[in-house]
Chain A
Amino acid sequence: MSTLEIKDLQVSVETEDGPKEILKGVTLTINDGETHAIMGPNGSGKSTTAYAIAGHPKYTITGGSVTLDGKDLLEMSPDERARAGLFLAMQYPVEVPGVSMANFLRTAKTALDGEAPKLRTWVKDVNGALDRMNLDPAFSQRSVNEGFSGGEKKRAEIAQLDLLDPKVAILDEIDSGLDIDALKVVSDGINAFASREGKGVLLITHYTRILRYVKPDFVHVFVDGRIAESGGEELAEELEANGYAKYIGAAV
């Protein structure tokens, strides 16, 4: 079972001119086996939603709640949230020089499971996950994200999703910077994850392109820090045809 419940989430960031309100009440529930897509124009607060749920220190929660299977995520540190079953694929994955992917993945897996993975099967698992993302096994010896191309970073995020096997995955613009072949590979990875028992996916994207390969159960249009409209797959098609103009007009 896994239910991510976001209720009236309000978030601000600290700026030079004092706190700035970015999320103005986001409400969204992701149930078992559901894939939700969030779409919206630049600066509408999509990444803020993802980071706030994952516990990035830059964002201050000013109201609302987020629970995973009834447990209050907002009370937890970022690593506790991950251990509770949350995963965030970042729009811009961070480089960690000098720390090999192998070391990083083993440390993460150990932290999540409370025990070190079995050495023999683990190496195979890592190589398998890399291979499914068309990444050479040599990637496990490279420093985390360092010198990876934009597309390689995104594929490495999905390889992590595969290995770390969370309950709920938030994927922030996983499709940006991918060519069509990489997009298919990444989509296959997301679909493989989503088809596992009791998983939830929140797919944040700017474009409908990826939705041809990853079929969302729900689509939400994000504008100016809140959800302006929710619907099914057809909403994505409408956005494809008409863009965000209608919502932006309404927001002004």
Chain B
Amino acid sequence: MTAVDTSLDSIKQSLELDKVESHLHPEGSFDLAAHPVPTGREEIWRFTPLKRLRDLHTEAAFGGTLDITEQLAEGINVSDDASGLLGVSGFVPTDRIAARVANAAHGTALYEIPAETVIEDASVIIVRGTGVEQAVAQHVVVKAGRFSQATVVFHFEGSATLADNVEIVVEDGAQLTVVTIDDWADDAVHVGHRHVKVGRDATFKHIEVTFGGDVVRSDTTAEYSGPGGSVELLGLYFADAGQHIEHRLFVDHTAPKTKSHVVYKGALQGHGAHTVWIGNVLIRKVAEGIETYEENRNLVLTDGCQADSVPNLEIETGEIEGAGHASAVGRFDDEQLFYLRSRGIPESEARRLVVHGFFNDLIRQIGVGDLEEKLTATVEAELAKNVLNNEKDNA
């Protein structure tokens, strides 16, 4: 794989210290009138197939329903009204779909972990779509009280046209892990926004797994309300023929001594599979002594796929501990395949090993109970769809 790695040195050279405003941080608004219908030429929409969004970006009515099954661990509180908490995480919509959801007050839910409550078991919320015809809007708040520890899993499945805003507040000293699994049926459309505010010395870990759906576009943004906070964003995705999977990340280092670590890895197979990864990091003037690293790697398994990968690091202070990014789009490495095959391993098996290997180091970082095993199995199932068949074409 060819990699473009930027070291701290070269970043320092390109510093623009007098800069105040960043294009990475557009003015947001809750006012729908401030968000005209996108044409597709806008920077934030240029990769997205608007025609396939079923009018989420124009004016699709929100009247659909979801089947929600909660398997909550003891200690976590749930309320079906979070409407008073709009913007509690500091979230302000910066695009029309997020603004529409904020104004729709359609479905709403609050998951709250009380202060100093430590919950070992993951709380799993299974969100099942019941059909694509009627769009659904959801506003969800996850609040981790001071010094609490918990893991919350959102598992999406079935068919839906869903737009959701998830606001996450991690209060001082809390440790929260959120897992989002887009395991949709083939016809689902999901445009999601997640915004997290990370308190002083708090830790937020997001694991985003995207396998299913026709179009899945997710925006994940993070800001810090105090020094010492840490954000880890891990993503694993697998796009099949015709699928559009887009991850847009923005970490706004708004406080000193904060950390962010972003690693997304994806595989693509089949005609028309398209993935987009936008990794934006802004280091503000106040954010001295921060550390950031972001990485995106894509493995293109067949012809006819497109992987776009755009890392973006903007630095307004020279006083940083470390900053780096890497981005790569690669194909199967012939040398790796040959090495494995020269030991007697048949081609299909060799391909499987390479893809597993590609995802493995990421899966190992997840650290959530049996999720690692499940993901390994899911990767296996995805591979069975195409990589093995593809071998016949190449033979």
Contacts and interface: CB of A to CB of B under 8 A. Distances in A.
Contact of A77 (B334, B341, B353, B358): B341
A144 B347 CA distance: 17
A79 B345 contact: yes
A107 B357 contact: no
A186 to B, nearest CB: 18
Interface string B337-364: 0111111111101100110111111000
Contact of B345 (A55, A93, A97, A108): A108
A96 interface: yes
Overall SS of chain A's interface = mixed
B339 A90 contact: yes
Contacts of B361: 97-98
Given A98-B361, A99-B357, A164 B338 contact: no
Contact of B353 (A82, A90, A103, A160): A103
B360 A82 contact: no
Contacts of B334: 57-58
A103 B350 CA distance: 12
Contact of B357 (A82, A97, A160, A164): A97
Nearest to B348: A79
B335 A94 contact: yes
With most chain B CB atoms within 10 A of its CB, the pick from A90, A98, A112 is: A98
B353 A94 contact: no
Nearest to B354: A96
A153 to B, nearest CB: 11
Overall SS of chain B's interface = helix
B336 interface: yes
A209 interface: no
A99 B356 contact: yes
A58 B23 CA distance: 46
Interface residues of A, number: 31
A97 B343 CA distance: 17
Contacts of B349: 107, 111
Interface in B309-349: 333-336, 338-347, 349
With most chain A CB atoms within 10 A of its CB, the pick from B333, B334, B335, B356 is: B335
Contacts of A56: 338
Interface string A92-119: 0111111100011001100110000000
A78 interface: yes
A143 interface: yes
A199 B195 CA distance: 64
Contacts of B353: 96, 99, 103-104, 107
Contact of A111 (B338, B344, B356, B359): B344
Interface in A123-182: 143-144, 160, 164
Contacts of A88: 342
A52 interface: no
Contacts of B347: 77, 79
Contacts of B350: 79
A55 B342 CA distance: 8
B342 A78 contact: yes
B196 to A, nearest CB: 29
Contacts of B342: 54-55, 78-79, 81-82, 87-88, 90
A10 B333 CA distance: 26
A83 interface: yes
Contacts of A87: 342-343
B343 A94 contact: no
With most chain A CB atoms within 10 A of its CB, the pick from B341, B359, B360 is: B341
A160 B343 contact: yes
Contacts of A160: 343
A99 B360 contact: yes
B8 to A, nearest CB: 22
B358 A98 contact: yes
A164 B343 CA distance: 8
Interface string A57-92: 110000000000000000001110111000110100
A55 B341 CA distance: 10
Interface string A196-215: 00000000000000000000
B356 A98 contact: yes
B357 A96 contact: yes
Contact of B339 (A81, A83, A96): A96
B380 to A, nearest CB: 13
B354 A99 contact: yes
B186 to A, nearest CB: 28
B238 to A, nearest CB: 15
With most chain B CB atoms within 10 A of its CB, the pick from A95, A99, A112 is: A99
Nearest to A164: B343
Interface string A15-59: 000000000000000000000000000000000000000111110
Contact of A107 (B333, B339, B345, B359): B345
B343 to A, nearest CB: 4
A97 B278 CA distance: 24
Contact of B336 (A81, A83, A96, A103): A96
Contacts of A79: 341-347, 350
A96 B343 CA distance: 13
With most chain A CB atoms within 10 A of its CB, the pick from B339, B343, B360 is: B343
A83 B347 CA distance: 13
Given A55-B342, A82-B341, A97-B361, 7 more contacts: A56-B338, A77-B347, A79-B343, A79-B345, A79-B346, A93-B339, A111-B343
18 contacts: A57-B338, A77-B347, A79-B342, A79-B343, A79-B345, A79-B347, A81-B342, A87-B343, A90-B339, A94-B335, A97-B360, A98-B356, A99-B357, A107-B353, A108-B345, A111-B345, A111-B346, A112-B344
